[in-house]
Amino acid sequence: MSAVEAGHLLLAGGSEFGGRMAASDHRSIELAGGLDTPIAIIPAAAAPDNNHRRAGENGRRWFTGLGATNVQVVPLLDRASAGDSNVIEAVAEAKLIYLLGGFPGYLCETLRDSPAWSAMLTAYAGGAVLAGSSAGAMVLCEHLNDPHGQGATTGLGLVPNICVLPHHNTFGQGWADRLRGLLPNATLVGIDEETAMISNGSVQDWRVYGAGDVTLYLPGHTLSHPQRYLAGQDLRLQPDSGGPN
């Protein structure tokens, strides 16, 4: 672990600002302190294809539509801005920090060992909610699949021995076979679109929210028999035995 587990994590599978994602985001706002809590949208992962402005505004509009009154898009886009004092201050003051989707390898290297990431860890240790969707969820874990770069690499490490497969119900499940070969001892976590999981006081214990499933491919188990969890169900990332199918 890179930080004290004092806050909560949210991992989402993509298509985050619409549909049944409202349930998880209302919960994250509640955990962060309520509708007037400061929310920071981080669009860095969308910068490589110049999609950060649209993505950031989508996030701001979404959370404002849920009733949040203090939402800002933080201009954290690259290594230089990850060291900018205004960016660091905005992140440090936030109680809900949301990493958007896009290019996971780029996002990870933008944040890794940066002052902005240190500020996020401090906020998380102080009780903030640290959320990520698609690429944002991928980088928060120990293992990262970078489809645009080197394949399986090292993430930012907040969730140990895990690799997230976002968009699992569309294309993410197609990564499972290759990643099992590359990461034989890791738990692969498939998260459907419009679906999220929020930690319950521990990076091992989570609850599922949204439209789809969370699918666990446990080490030592065949890929054809994963464990699937629906909205409202609790899961452990390293279960002792058994689990829903």
**199 DSSP assignment:** E
The per-residue pLDDT for 9 is 98
pLDDT per position as a tens digit, 42-85? 999 999 999 999 999 999 999 999 999 999 999 999 999 999 99
Evaluate if residue 242 carries a pLDDT over 60: no
The pLDDT score that the predictor gives to residue 2 is 39
Question: For the chain, which residues make up each domain, given as ranges?
Answer: 8-233
Output the pLDDT for position 94: 98
d(CA 17, CA 56): 11
Torsion of CA 140, 118, 67, 207, to 10 degrees: 30
CA distance 226 to 189: 10
- The mean pLDDT of the chain is 93
pLDDT on residue 5: 61
User: Given pLDDT bands bounded at 50, 70 and 90, which one contains residue 152?
Assistant: confident
Is the predicted pLDDT of residue 1 greater than 60, yes or no? no
Note the CATH architecture for domain 8-233. 3-Layer(aba) Sandwich (3.40)
pLDDT-derived band at 144, boundaries 50, 70, 90: very high
